Structure 1
């Protein structure tokens, strides 16, 4: 019997911010990715790494070879703060993963870390924060022509998002796969050295409940930037999101929030991640005599 597939989930949040998320009723990033992984690969094994924590031992290249895939979560940090040692250690880890040839998945921050590690650049989005739902994301011609990351995904779709930064220069070996009018790089495949990383600027792992509570946590910033007029306005919007999460077939809330199955359906929303498992991770694992797990 073949061995189960094993993954390393790299949570980019510092400990204090992870604690704040839990206190706000938000599921930690690592756990959201565990849920997503096990939904698509129920018998997968995984380890969790917190690279921002001082007491965390960062794996070496030989350590990374034990894994069939690396999954990078989001983070509250900014890759543009290049002097922050918590960021430098993650960029070095991503470089090491490319050198070892371990397939990578990057969500938001994870995509940005991978891009910088491969020689690209990240900067603040000149349009500001993209939050809630990223609207009218379109696949590029490369995706239309059958890139495996987007097989089975609608050509135009929407997705959960919350970010201030974006990939501003695609590294050599990077292929732009999705974009919208707000953020040019919404999805990217990066081939660098021996490795490949697929990633999205948007969050496949979120659901309406999570993004609603994340917006409440950021309410002071969102009100200050003009997304909502006051706290009551934001609260009403978040309440509608949570109500639709509980009753996803409600026509009234779908219409009021402008949300459809591309956001609500796990199968559609997480298609890119499922493709990463089945079209990138599994073929490589099979070469090493491993099965689905």
Structure 2
């Protein structure tokens, strides 16, 4: 059995808000996907932003750590951020494979000596478009199975602005240089994506509604009703992906986003290429 530590990047308020619009927390979303990809996995859900968080299992006895997205900002600091940075550092120094999307990437880059902050090119809301491998990403196992260019769910203002020394930048697009990254610290290896391979389109829609003001201010939608209509289309496409080719065409959503197995490639690659080999050795 695999023992996977799934850390929710949100503080208590962020978890409650996410739960209210998605009917599950970010950690619960990840746990469901991890169990689907690895039926032998036991997921231990934790909330490291909380002061009273206690690990249910010692780090050396875990096979991996996964850190979810978050509404927090690394640059703002504070105990909720510091506690998550400490967990990330401890996990990597203990030799664990670590995966993170969005917030997880920003935390990993920060503790390894990089910098995360507001993306000077602006936010990505809904989908990150035309992601492609860098030279360092060509042949990297995190991106196995991805085509030469792909889209992926994305919701972020912040990003890795300065990668840490020695990091391998694996993929980027015209909005952001760091869409996928490998970071090594101690005996541990971090693989992560700024985009969200874990999110279904109905969750993207729900998160867009929460971010409506930011989407409008970024000039991506003229007003809140337009954003609501776009979110409704994403939701409807999620519920009937084969029956609504009109929506897929209008929204520019391809199979790399629509098909769960393809959308979640990076998570599956992480399990197959890093977690299982280490678990077998352990």
Instruction: Please give the range of the TM-score, normalised by the shorter of the 2 chains.
Output: over 0.9
Q: TM-score, normalised by structure 2?
A: 0.96
Gaps of 5+ in 1: 289-293
CA contact (8 A) 2:18 2:26 kept: no
Equivalent residue for 1:64?
A: 59
The answer on 1:176 being equivalent to 2:161 is no
Q: Which residue of 2 aligns with 1:291?
A: none
Using the alignment, how far apart are the partners of 1:186 and 1:12 within structure 2? 19
State the match for 2:8 in structure 1: 11
1:274 aligns with 2:268: yes
Q: How many residues align?
A: 281
Counterpart of 1:213?
A: 206
Aligned to 1:54: 51
236, 247, 269: which one pairs with 2:240?
A: 247
Shift in Å, 1:185: 0.2
The one of 133, 151, 158 equivalent to 2:144 is 151
> Which residue pairs with 1:108 in the alignment?
102
Higher-RCO chain (CA-CA 8 Å, sequence separation at least 6): 1
- The superposition leaves residues 74-99 of structure 1 with CA deviations (integer Å, 9 ceiling, x where unpaired) of 000011113x1111111111111111
Cα deviation, 1:78-137, whole Å, max 9, x if unaligned, reads 11113x111111111111111110100011100111111112111210122111000000
Alignment RMSD: 1.4
C-alpha contact 2:102 2:195 (8 A) present in aligned 1:
yes
Deviations 1:240-285 (A, max 9, x none): 1111111112221111000010111111111111111111111111
CA distance in 1 between counterparts of 2:136 and 2:34 reads 26
- Following TM superposition, the consecutive aligned residue runs of length 4 or more in structure 1 with deviations greater than 4 angstroms are none
Tell me by how many angstroms 1:153 deviates: 1.3
Which of 230, 238, 245 is the equivalent residue of 1:237? 230
Partner of 2:128: 134
Shift of residue 26, structure 1, vs aligned partner: 4.8
